[in-house]
Amino acid sequence: MAVLVVATGNPGKLKEMQAHLVGLDWELTLKPDQLEVEETGATFAENACLKASQVAQATGEWAIADDSGLEVMALDGAPGVFSARYGKTDAERIERLLNELGNELNRDARFVCVIAIARPDGTIALQAEGTCDGRVLHAPRGSGGFGYDPIFYVPEQQRTFAELSPDQKYAISHRGKAFEALLPQLRTL
């Protein structure tokens, strides 16, 4: 069984990735705590590749990384790659985004996720992207999920990400779609 280092220190993200990779011959492990990768890319793809490549080179193992965030059309794609850094807490990030949108009528948005897998030498072996289109509400709804989930409304579901069960969210989410695109490629490695 090959080792696949997850370029995160978050055990929750490791658990989520394990759920997506069930049935594949990979043993997932967290990156070493002391190994930090600065996200300096201008796109989600650049950041995912940067993290996967640097963790692979540092550990000498295969590595997987993702980068994701929310793009709001009326804000020219912001917060985008800065989604996690738009405030110190989820509540602050949501408040800032809602304040910036104000009474804007165009509330179209999308979540984007790019996943990259790097070989032990740091070269990128695979990359996949997934998106989920929706709208930003004027106020939070629902208690599930995390981040911007309470204000991200999916018209087809008539609910926010925070109102969906984890299984429902996985089936339509940007991360779920990215893994769906990645899995056939990953089986060939």
Residues with a catalytic annotation lie at: 67
Calpha distance 98→149 (Å, rounded)? 13
Rounded Cα gap, residues 42 and 30, in angstroms = 25
CB atoms within 10 A of CB 139: 8
> What Cα–Cα distance (Å) separates residue 41 from each residue in 37, 81, 82, 85, 115?
11, 8, 10, 14, 14
